[in-house]
Amino acid sequence: MKGYKKYYGQKLFWYLLTLIFAVILNFVLPRLMPGDPVSAIAARAVGGMTDSTAIQKVINDYVEKFGINKPMYQQFFMWLGNVLKGDFGVSFSQYPRPVSDIINSAVWWTVALQLPAIIVGWLLGNILGAIAAYIRGVFDKAILPFFLFVSNIPAFGMATILLFVFSIKLGIAPASGGYGYDLIPNVSWTFVKSVIGHYQLPFWSIVLITIGGQAIGMRSMSIYELNADYVKYSRFLGIKDSKIVGYVFRNAMLPQITGLALSLGTMIGGALVAEIIFSYPGLGTTLLTAVTGQDYPLLSACTLIITIMVLIANLVVELLYGVIDPRVKANQQD
């Protein structure tokens, strides 16, 4: 375990640094642009007012509140202090609801949807890819082109297909929302049943998309490994096939885990858009309402939360990788 300390320490430090940069970007990027958000906010607030002294007063109020008369770094620390307290300001589109409240209710839907979906999709994809590489023949020939095509359908496309087939045509799954529109969230059997019913389509659309990409990657990695010299050598030595296959798939798995870490951001981005199709009450739909409602505080809170979520997920994957890949351990003991 001693060897891991350095590895984990490095990883944690690196992710902390990334987090700081991500937070700075989240603050700076919008403010670098010509139409800075605070004056846009003030302009929105005074829209419809005619009394010039009142307008001036409101604008001064906003200037005071966001500190735009202060230098940029002071503004940043003011903003950071508020964010750390969980204060993201008040939403425009759902005034006077605080942004933190909206985010708090949306973020769990997204986590509960995407985390299991990506894990299940990743596992199923790897298993299918490994089987395809090992068996080859008809299974491989039939399943590979199918997955090749499926993996190229965008997540929102898969969402519309599932929605059309299972909800509009067959009518066996609800079309939109996270629970029945006639229900109020509570802990009762009807509510839980409704949530599970609404969960299926978004869940499977993310799973199917993930399976396609992972299966192809795993298949080619496994074929590559199956042809490796150590496999041939082991066969000559007469080691049992099942044992060799175990090693092969473990080795083929490792790049897949790295691949997962690298593509998590893209996957989550795609899945967020798929949420919109189902009007799922998660962060994706919240992003859409923020954009259509020109709700800057909500939008910036959403992007910050999503970034933090992706960072945490990435960190977890990398930490797991350290445990699974023996080379990491070996490196540390040198």
Partner 1 sequence: MKNTIKQVFHSGKFLVGFIIFVLILAICFIYPVFVTYDPLEMIGAGNFYKPGTYVSQEEAALNEGYTLNMDASESRLATALGVEELEKMQEYLIKYAGIAEKDIDVTDTEAIVELWQQNYNPDMKAKGLTSAKRKAYRRLDASIENAMKSSGVIIAEEDAESGELKEAKTIKGTGYVNTKDIVNKRTFILGTDNFGRDVLTELVAATKVSLRIGLIAGLIATAVGLILGLVAGYVGGVVDNIIMFLTNLFTVIPSFIILILISYSVGTNARGVMMVAFIIGLTSWPWTTRSVRSQVISLRNRDHVNLSKLSGHSMFRIIFTDILPYIASYVVMAMILQISSGILSEAQLSMIGLGPATTKVATLGLMMNWAMQYAAHLNGSWWAYFPVVIVIALISFSLNLMNTGLDQVFNPQLRD
Q: Which residues bind partner 1 (CB under 8 A)?
A: 14-15, 18, 21-22, 25-26, 29-30, 32-35, 37, 148-149, 151-154, 156-157, 160-161, 163-164, 168, 175-176, 220, 223-224, 227, 262, 264-266, 268-270, 272-273, 276-277, 284, 287-288, 291-292, 296, 299-300, 303, 306-307, 310-311, 314
Q: Please, are residues 223 and 133 in contact by the beta-carbon 8 Å criterion?
A: yes
Nearest-approach distance from CB 241 to partner 1, in angstroms? 20
Angle of helix 72-84 relative to helix 52-66, nearest 10 degrees?
A: 80
Query: What tokens were used for 187?
Result: 């802990």
Nearest-approach distance from CB 26 to partner 1, in angstroms? 7
Query: What tokens were used for 16?
Result: 């902390």
Nearest-approach distance from CB 182 to partner 1, in angstroms? 17
Nearest-approach distance from CB 68 to partner 1, in angstroms? 15
Nearest-approach distance from CB 122 to partner 1, in angstroms? 17
- Residues contacting 93, CB < 8 A, separation 6+: 289, 290, 292, 293, 294, 295, 298
- Other Cβ atoms less than 10 A from the Cβ of 17: the count is 10
Nearer to partner 1, 74 or 294 (CB): 294
Q: Please, are residues 67 and 78 in contact by the beta-carbon 8 Å criterion?
A: yes
Query: What tokens were used for 64?
Result: 């005071």
Nearer to partner 1, 128 or 290 (CB): 290
235 sits in which H/E element: helix 229-237
Helix, strand or coil for residue 280? coil
Nearest-approach distance from CB 53 to partner 1, in angstroms? 28
The amino acid at residue 313 is A
The amino acid at residue 321 is Y
Nearest-approach distance from CB 191 to partner 1, in angstroms? 23
Alpha carbon separation from 222 to 51, 130, 165, 232, 282 (Å, rounded): 72, 6, 34, 14, 36
